[in-house]
Structure 1
Amino acid sequence: MTEDKKNWEPSASIENLKTRSRVLSKIRQFFLERSVLEVDVPNISRNTVSDPNLDSFSFRHNGLTLYLQTSPEYFLKRLLADAREDFFYLGKAFRSGEVGPLHNPEFTILEWYRCGWDEFSLMDEVFDLIKFISNEYDHSIKSQKFTYLNYFQKIMNINPHTATLALLQEICVKRFGSQWNDASRTCCLDLLFSQIIQPKLPTGIVFIYDFPECQSGLSEIREFPEYNVSRRFELFYNSIELGNGYFELTSGEEQRSRFLSDNIQRKIQFKHSIAVDENLLSALDHGLPNCSGIAIGFDRLLMCLLGEKTISSVISFPWES
């Protein structure tokens, strides 16, 4: 928003808001033509994510602690376990934390799941969607796929899956300071990827896949002779992260273990623990179909397609207004 904008005025131009409306309609058209059902799920729940990298808004009501949802993932997986059909959600999500050119605590998220698909089929569909909605803005858009290992070896000449924690800490301390001397493997890899690898990704659409096992989130694991990888991928547009996808974990027992591990990391970071979502685990125990899913930040995607520099230029009123 420019300095001469009055506080009451919207941050996005009317032209961008009209484009936003058209793109939202095109997304719904894309999934309608592919028989993917749009569903609406709650924004408020007694449960929330345990991911140490995400913080939820919470409030008290009638003696209960309730949370604004950071994504529709848990509800969508409960639907998947029941109906075993393809679903998508296009609506609001909320994340407490950073506010800036690429972050707004309230944002629009696009999340969908494909039964019987692996992560590579889903990557192809993600690119199909972006081509479909960007046709009037960028006819030359292309996509590339690389493994997480590819870029670490290319840029840093190390194998991120087999490098020792001591080596990763040494690199982080040398480049970013002594505060990284006791950092975890996950924190070291996150830092190196975001600060060194990500800025050097090619222009256009890039998929990075086969993330380290320690960054598995809610994904299945693929085993190799020397190391394991997470069956997850991230989507980038001109080095800006837009989305995170998984070949989804189906084991309730393994998911419970990961929730407990998350809370250990939260304690290390002086964050409060999060109660395990027993409804989600019951759904997984009932039987989640083999499927892949992805969540994309719609505002960031639109910002990139329009060549804007901030998401406030594509939303009517940012957080601070």
Structure 2
Amino acid sequence: MPDDWQPTASIATLRERARLLARVRAFFAERDVLEVETPVLGHGGSTDPHLASLSLEASTPGGRERLWLQTSPEFHMKRLLAAGSGPIFQLARSFRDGEVGRRHNLEFTMLEWYRPGFSLSALIDESVALVRELLPEAGPRRLRRYRELFREQLQVDPFTTPLESLRRLAGERGGLDMQDADRDGCLDLLMGLVIEPTLGREGIDVVIDYPASQAALARKHRDPEDGVEVAARFELYVSGLELANGYDELTDAEEQTSRFVEDNRERQRLGHGEVGADVRLLAALEAGMPAGSGVALGLDRLIQLALGKASVAEVMAFATPRC
């Protein structure tokens, strides 16, 4: 019999986790945001080339079908928005293959919420307020532009520096052969190794204006500096940890279809398997999803910081591989 049957978090920690979850729910109740529950399984998965989805075969009324464990509740929640739900939030069980470590687990809790009619700026304010609800000593908020972070810390412009120069710099910093890497691959490595560890060390850092190629499900707009296209999204950092990722949500069904196709094309180029696109999300967008903003926050990481733990496993009842 295995001897690792005990939980990875202490019972005292699990009591504290429950207390913090109650505070999260109270935060949204005070703002009249509806709590919802959506399926863990879906006919569509995340086509994001940088995410590894898990799937299974199931017997359904349609016969044996492939269903995807959701990497976040985003697609189902957007279908609720299109159906007229108004502002909604969810504490969702989410799954991402291969992600196990101090900051990751195969199964985790995503706090995700959507605000029809909210600007990205308004959602940033609310996201900071939610973080301060659990981390009251987090310190001041700073708004940081992605482009300026690269200029300050690496002396390169991520939008205009030649790819060969980025490959050389990424290779030097990462100790890797980056000669076949694309621009986003180089930028992601430099962001993760050099810039991210410095963020949120003296407060709450909110990074905005990411490259347009990293828009995912966000709208795009123009950088006022030179008109280059950038993503209307933000990421929020505390103590070197990325906690949240928010978008001015894309509502155009045709553009979303194109992005799904391009994502799967990139997955094939990278040698990843193709993921079935969520056609019901596309139908919901076609029917009309209200304009607004949404954000996904890694709740286990936030609780880890709030309780002063070294890893997310210490705030989960049974983290991988003890599940």
TM-score, scaled to structure 1: 0.94
In structure 1, the partner of 2:58 is 61
Matched residue, 2:142: 144
For the residue of structure 2 that corresponds to 1:244, the secondary structure is strand
Aligned residue among 176, 184, 208 for 2:174 = 176
Deviation of 1:118 (Å)? 1.5
| CA distance in structure 2 between the partners assigned to 1:291 and 1:271 by the alignment | 32
Letter of the aligned partner of 1:189 in structure 2? L
> Residues of 1 paired with 2:196 and 2:80: CA distance?
34
Q: Give the equivalent residue in structure 2 for 1:123.
A: 124
- What pairs with 1:172-321 in structure 2 (closer than 5 Å)? 172-177=170-175, 179-203=177-201, 204-224=203-223, 225-321=226-322
Aligned partners of 1:71, 1:140: CA distance in 2, in Å? 26
Question: Unaligned 5+ residue runs, structure 2?
Answer: none
Aligned-partner SS, 2:234: strand
Q: Which amino acid aligns with 1:86?
A: P
**How far 1:291 sits from its partner (Å)?**
0.8
Shift of 1:250: 1.1
Conserved in 2, the CA contact under 8 Å of 1:84 and 1:289?
no
- SS of the counterpart of 1:122? helix
Name the aligned partner's letter for residue 66 of structure 1. Answer: L
Q: Is the 8 A contact 1:98 1:104 kept in 2?
A: yes
Residue 141 (structure 1) shift: 3.2
Task: Flag the 1:84–1:9 CA change in 2: closer, same or farther, 3 A.
Answer: closer
The corresponding residue for 1:25 is 22
Q: Does 1:43 align with 2:40?
A: yes
Partner of 1:163: 161
Kept in 2: contact 1:185–1:214 (CA 8 A): no
In 2, the alpha carbon distance for the partners of 1:284 and 1:140 equals 37
Counterpart code for 1:131: R
**Does the Cα contact within 8 Å between 2:173 and 2:190 map onto a contact in 1?**
no
TM-aligned CA deviation for residue 246 of structure 1: 0.5
Deviations 1:265-306 (A, max 9, x none): 101111111222111111111112111111111111100111
Aligned counterparts, 1:3-14, within 5 A: 7-14=4-11
State the identity as a percent.
40
Which residue is equivalent to 1:70? 71
Q: Is the 8 A contact 2:200 2:237 kept in 1?
A: no
CA distance 1:202–1:86, shift in 2 (3 Å): closer
Quick one: distance in 2 between partners of 1:27 and 1:226?
A: 39
Q: Post-superposition shift, 1:170?
A: 2.2
Shift of 1:178: 5.5
Consecutive unaligned residues in structure 1, runs of 5 or more: 1-5
Q: Deviations over 1:200-227 (max 9, x none)?
A: 2241321111101111100000113441
- By how many angstroms is 1:65 displaced? 0.7
Cα-to-partner distance string for 1:78-102 (whole Å, 9 max, x where unaligned)? 1111105101011211111121111
Give distance in 1, aligned partners of 2:25 and 2:234: 23
What is the root-mean-square deviation in Å for CA atoms of aligned residues? 1.6
Letter in 1 for 2:298: G
Q: What secondary structure is seen at the aligned counterpart in 2 of 1:83?
A: coil
How many residue pairs get aligned? The number is: 314
* TM-score, normalised by the number of residues in structure 2: 0.93
